[in-house]
Amino acid sequence: MTAQHSPTDHPALAPAASAADIAAAVRAREVTAGDVVEAHLDRIARRNPGLGALTVVFAEQAREAASLLDSALAAGEDPGPLAGVPISVKENIDLTWSPTTNGWRGLAEAVPARDATIVRRMRAAGAVPVGRGNMPDFGMRWDTDNDLFGRTRNPWDPQRSAGGSSGGDAVSVATGMSAIGLGNDFGGSLRLPAYAAGVVGLRPSRGRVPRAAVTGYPVALTLQEFSVNGPMARTVDDVALALSVMQGADADDPVSLEAPPPHGLPRRVGVVRGSQVDPQVAGGIERAAASLSAAGWEVVDIEAPRLEEAAVLWRRLSCTDMLMSLDPAELGMPLGRSATAFLRDSTAVAQPYETAREYAEAWGRRAVIAADWRRLQAEVPVLLGPVSTSRMREPDYDLGGQDAADRAWRDLWLTVAANYLGLPALALPTGLGDDGTPTGVQLIGPMFAEEALFALGRAVEAGVPALPQP
């Protein structure tokens, strides 16, 4: 079908439309990429001023990109699997349309010379950037606020944090301002905002998705080992679609690689319940477990091996590197007010390593813990548990002194363990809690088992109540 004038009520133009449906409608010429972009720009104009999710809106660039895509379609060219899909790009992922600020005033004019590899791949597949997602300074907090752009607010309840550090992209996706968000995850930075906003977020296996190009500037070891780029979307299928475009080896990132083909795994899921889990969080875990059981998966209770040790080592190593890499004397300008407070409080209570021997021994322990997890996941390949053991707390909940910083980290023990071990993890919603905000879980698989996580995620998605539009 060729539409001379696209209907304004086409399902692909609705706020909850999936990326796959948008691309299918554009490719079939039922709607134009221009129509899709205009619908999203309209939502941005209405929703973003009250939410602070997008720091920059690419109205003219997006319209031009959509026009080129529509012309290519009219000429019979293949626009790609993401034809016309609006995406947001986090402030620390290079996109030449605006500075890559990392949420910090010191980089407010840092326009990159070229797009990041994942941005190039998404654009080559037909995706259209419509804005930049907000984040805290250098992605350092579990809330999204900075002195350069201000705060991102939770669309479900402004008295709750939007999570961090990819909070802007999560809120943009949840409210229909973009269909896919590009973010990254060093310690839950994709999964926690996804939980807060009620969307799906994937932390891929270490190396599966390229990261920033490695140049001559020193890169902290924890950033190399713990952080990955990944997508957020409103459905598991859309996250899988985004991964299929983003993944693969990249000459600029020596950690990146071609993932091996999917392999068969036992249809067994281990539930990690933990202690001191909020009843609403526990309810979400139960709904997910019941959905998987109904879909034919064997669901068993397990204890994640050396979980506390993994979380402690992640924190101490991370804080050691943050003190070195984010020294204001080295940066040439102070961090923002909230980032300064977070760094002070977190490092004070985390006990950063003071000697090279301590630091090296902490990395050495990772092989011991990883071996225990690998033995477990040979029998019980996927772990089901909370993203956070608490409901989303108030804005700035991770500030306010050492006790607050410690509590914020303890909420995320299972989450940061996946970062420490480099494992793939999929966060997804499990309906609304009694307070009217999303509940959610995460699924953690063995290395390169993203396809298994997607299969499990689809089963959870089909078995829990769908979320309304926030």
DSSP 396: T
Q: Where are the beta strands (DSSP E) in 66-179?
A: 86-90, 128-133
Active site residue 6: no
Q: Order of strands across the sheet with 425-432?
A: 54-57, 128-133, 86-90, 180-185, 228-233, 200-203, 425-432, 438-444, 382-385, 268-271, 298-301
Catalytic residue among 18, 189, 227, 291: 189
Alpha helices in 337-437 (DSSP H): 337-350, 356-379, 402-410, 413-421
- Rounded to whole angstroms, how far apart are CA atoms 280 and 386? 11
Q: Would you call 188 helix, strand, or coil by DSSP?
A: coil
Catalytic residue among 88, 98, 161, 165: 165
Q: State whether the Cα torsion 221-225-229-235 is positive or negative.
A: negative
Active site residue 178: no
Residues in the chain: 470
Q: What are 152's two structure tokens? A: 């991102």
Active site residue 325: no
Residue 392: partners with Cβ closer than 8 Å, 6 or more residues away: 154, 160, 161, 163, 195, 196, 437
Q: For tokens 């402004």, what's the residue?
A: 158
The distance of Cα 455 from the centroid of its chain, to the nearest Å, equals: 19
Catalytic residue among 6, 88, 90, 161: 90
Q: What are 426's two structure tokens? A: 């999929």
Query: Is residue 263 within 8 Å of residue 236, measured between CB atoms?
Result: no
Helix (H) or strand (E) holding 238: helix 236-246
Phi-psi region of 150 (alpha: psi -120 to 50; beta: other; left: phi over 0): left
Q: For residue 57, what are the β-bridge partners?
A: 131
Instruction: Give the catalytic positions in this structure.
Output: 90, 165, 189
